[in-house]
Amino acid sequence: MIRNVLSVDQSPRARWSLADLIDFEVALDATHSMNAADDSAIFVNQISPALGVRANDRSTVFLAWLHARKVPRQSSTGRQLELGVKAVFVLALFFGVMMGLVTTAGLLSHENSDPINAAVFLAGTVGLQLAIIFLVLVANAAHAVGFDFTPLTSWMKVLVRLMAGAISRLNGEQRTELMLFLAKTGERSDRLAPFVSLTILQLTQVFAIAFNIGILGSMLLVYLPLFELRFGWQSTYSFGPEAVFRIIQGVAAPWSWISDSLSLSLQQINATQFARGQSSVSLDALSARAWWPFLLSTVAFYGLMPRVVAAVAINVLLRWRLRRVRFEYPAANALWRRLHSLNDPSGSVGAGLIPFVEQPGLPHSNPGRDHAPPAHAALAIKSDDCTLSDGEVTALVHQSLGWSVVQTISACIDDDQLTSTLTAGLTAPPDAVVIVVPVTKDPIVAIAGFLQVVSESSKPGLDIVILLTGEPGSSMDSCLKIWSRFVAINRLRVGVELCR
């Protein structure tokens, strides 16, 4: 199955979709605690032989891993969201066209004999859309320069206080589970927000495109062939025909070169100026009808075309982002190590330490070893209450993570003030950082501060792992769960693993 999946896309980067990203996030949670040998078997037996040299690319490997897992994709969370987006797409088309029809009917249908005011028609169709775009741009510019939307954020603060009051009534376990859920949701939202926001923008553009199509379609197919529409203009301000003519010339500049009939002449503008209560039959019929090509062109150019261009640009940007997803957060790093554990039954991930066992049906080479990532040159931070020697730490890190320790520094991990030695070690900078902690040590708020400072002092995207050491047993698994919760609730970009 995996060969068929991979043969579809031979491009340098895997073609992810938003549904795939969501399914990948769910799959990471489901497989976080599984034996490394299970993921490694998928890599060695299926992914590596099918990908060849592309098995070094995280994006391609992770998408292949997602497809190789025996999980029904049709009922997955990502596919359900994808179906929901398609349903919203259809609804946006329908309601957009209906809104365009209703707007056109409201602007063109009237019982009195007054001419149809061309300025009111443009204000209700194109003007409203341009005003919305202008307000969005102003809001984004204000946010970029640091403007505080206090009236809006105050309501959110009230909601947060109400939620905090409700959470405080829960018992300790329930409160921890809820805080863990909120923390994981927030972390996923940070990673998926650039893609979800573009998808939502796509849907808004679909609605706007349908709205403009409804306006143009109703005018071309209903009102122009079935009704005699006479347009004119009026204003309380002392606008003369010459000023209106210059405005129309400026508006029609992008398309007036196609045909003179798509704009209006000064004579036609003079002939269609009317006063309140003046009958439309008193206007020159040819001049009054000459407005509709200009109005349709204005709706098409300033209403429809920007939305089409925006929709295409958003789609291109979304595809560009999907092809450049960076899987460099702790859960993805842990999966990458599990995939390259070379199918060792013990679950050790020390790349290059474990002899490869030939399996039936595989080439006489080690695809896992051929495409294993290079070992990281890691900085080891040893908790000051850890009894292991530096040599034992080096061997343990190599056996558990496959990293080569280039420097070991003892530190008090309960203090967020880094020593000069540790600061210099992080500035080097290393390829990865491993913090060796006894499994008996309880995670406290001070440790969260230390980990935050270490993360901020390291280069962006650096793989930082807490390695819990101790005697194997059931208590190790419970401690791993506690530390994993601690890291997630405090939104730390740090992985947690047990020594092997």
Q: pTM (2 decimals)?
A: 0.75
From the number of C-beta atoms within 10 Å of its C-beta (0-12, 13-18, 19+), residue 178 rates as middle
Q: How confident is the model at residue 486 (pLDDT cuts 50, 70, 90)?
A: confident
Averaged pLDDT score across all residues of the chain: 79
- pLDDT band (50, 70, 90) for residue 326: confident
- For 48-80, write each residue's pLDDT tens digit: 788 777 777 888 888 888 888 766 666 678 888
Q: HSE on the CB side for 379, CA within 13 Å?
A: 24
CA–CA gap between residue 178 and residue 161 (Å, rounded): 15
Q: Are residues 165 and 242 in the same domain?
A: yes
pLDDT in tens, 85-109: 899 999 999 999 999 999 998 888 7
Give the span between the Cα atoms of 178 and 199, in whole angstroms.
28
> Is residue 92 in some structural domain?
yes
User: What are φ and ψ of residue 231, in 5° steps?
Assistant: -100, 155
232 and 51 Cβ atoms separated by less than 8 Å? no
Identify whether residues 146 and 260 lie together within a single domain: yes
Q: Are 247 and 182 contained in the same domain?
A: yes
Tokens of 91: 């609804």
Q: Out of 322, 340, 355, pick the residue that ends a domain.
A: 322
Are 277 and 380 in a shared domain?
no
Asked if residue 255 belongs to a domain, the reply is yes
Judge if 387 and 318 occupy the same domain.
Answer: no
7 lies in some domain: no
* Structure-block tokens of residue 384: 């000051």
Residues 133 and 272 in one domain: yes
* 250 shares its domain with 124: yes
Please count the residues of the chain: 500
In percent, how much of the chain has pLDDT > 70?
Answer: 77
Going from the C-alpha of 498 to that of each of 28, 334, 468, the distances in angstroms are: 17, 12, 5
User: Domain count of the chain?
Assistant: 2
Average pLDDT over residues 488-497: 84
Among 322, 341, 364, the domain-final residue is 322
Taking only the tens place, the pLDDT of each residue in 210-241 is: 999 999 999 999 888 888 888 888 887 877 88
Q: In this predicted model, which residue has the larger pLDDT, 180 or 395? A: 395
Q: What per-residue confidence (pLDDT) applies to 366?
A: 43
Q: Domain containing 248: what range? A: 80-322
Q: How confident is the model at residue 350 (pLDDT cuts 50, 70, 90)?
A: very low
Q: Please check whether residues 302 and 428 belong to one and the same domain.
A: no
Distance CA 455, CA 457 (A): 5
Q: Quick one: 392 and 289 in the same domain?
A: no
pLDDT of 92 reads 94
Q: Do the Cβ atoms of 467 and 431 come closer than 8 Å?
A: no
Which pLDDT tens digit goes with each residue over 255-310?
Answer: 988 888 888 889 888 888 888 877 878 788 888 888 899 999 999 999 999 999 99
Whether 303 and 172 map to the same domain: the answer is yes
246 in a domain, yes or no? yes
Quote the tokens at residue 200. Answer: 């939502």
222 and 159 in one domain?
yes
In a domain, 73, yes or no: no
Long-range pairs, 183-188, Cβ under 8 A, ≥24: 183/488, 183/489, 183/490, 183/491, 184/29, 184/488, 186/491, 187/329, 187/488, 187/491, 188/25
Whether 300 is covered by a domain: the verdict is yes
**Backbone φ/ψ region at 338: left (φ over 0), alpha (ψ -120 to 50), beta:** alpha
- Asked whether residue 301 is assigned to any structural domain, the reply reads yes
Domain CATH code at residue 399? 3.40.50.300
**Residue that terminates a domain, selected from 288, 322, 356:** 322
**Pair (233, 144) in one structural domain:** yes
In a domain, 233, yes or no: yes
